[in-house]
Chain A
Amino acid sequence: MIVVLRSMDYEQLKEHIVEADRIILWSCNDCTKYSNLGGRKNLESLAKALEKDGYNVIHQELIGVGCQPPLIRLRSQHPATKEIFSEATVLIVLACTDGFLKTQKVFKKMRVIQVGESVGLGVYSKAEGMKLVIPLEETGLPPSIEGYTLEEAAKKLGKKSGPLV
């Protein structure tokens, strides 16, 4: 699984949007959910927070695996969602780096905001959550069989972990 951290917090996210925007929240329901950044619950919490702050969230989209272009394209073209995607001005993406880039490529006509960032490969267990075991070379972190918790990894890499709100 890909370990997904983030570089921005909620206040920084708001700097990328305005109240007139028609916002769609988009989340991968696989690695990003296991990294506790995305998934249904975190999408709903983010939508509530943005609406409370006066932003116009017009839709939430949960995609099973966010790094597969055919699945992303299907959402953009499906009769149930095609119209709402054509109306949106902003897509806030809760996914890994690959998922973000592939989503950005499909939705070329709107502003696509990256929240998540891949930092390596992880292992998930219900008891311990996601742990980073095989970091990307660019992080400078050594591999760890026991793994780094998301909080430890974020601290070591100067990033943030967990949900935006």
Chain B
Amino acid sequence: MVCAVEAVPYEKIKVQFKKGERISIVTCNTCTRSQEAGGAKLMEEIAGLLVNDVGVDVVEEIVLTTGCNADYYDHANPTAEVDKILCLGCWAGWTVIKNKFPNIPVVAGVRTLGVPAQSDMLKVVAPEGVEL
């Protein structure tokens, strides 16, 4: 279940957005929350900062039990009426959003480090567009 992740620094996330943009934020409540890179509380904090610092319009916030289950995202009935989506899930969760909305830019607010194997870390390949 648990992939290893780290939060992308807020300063790097902030510069991906512009004043007046309508955005949606999606977070995973499993791996990323347990590693303090996602979850409802962090999502609220980042949403507040983006509104105050950048002036975005946060039109939707979604917490998924697991961001890598596409059915959960579908069930949340996410809006397509946004300029950008901020993903606070791992890169697998990022592909779920990108697959559903290929024409909407999806900002990856979490960096996926790999898959644990006891004391080792098996590195994963980054999809194009996730490294900020």
Contacts and interface: CB of A to CB of B under 8 A. Distances in A.
Q: A and B from one assembly?
A: yes
Interface stretch (B12-20, B53-61, B92-100): B92-100
Interface residue tally on A, bucketed by range: 20 to 34
Interface string B6-36: 0000000000000000000000000000000
Contacts of A23: none
Contact of B95 (A2, A105, A134, A142): A134
Mostly, the B contact residues are mixed
B3 A2 contact: yes
A134 B124 CA distance: 6
Interface in A120-165: 120-126, 128, 133-138, 141-147
Contacts of B127: 133-134, 143, 145
Given A1-B92, A2-B3, A134-B92, A121 B69 contact: no
Interface of A: 1-2, 30-31, 65, 67, 96-98, 101-102, 105, 118, 120-126, 128, 133-138, 141-147
Given A133-B91, A137-B124, 7 more contacts: A98-B118, A120-B125, A121-B92, A122-B68, A134-B127, A135-B125, A136-B125
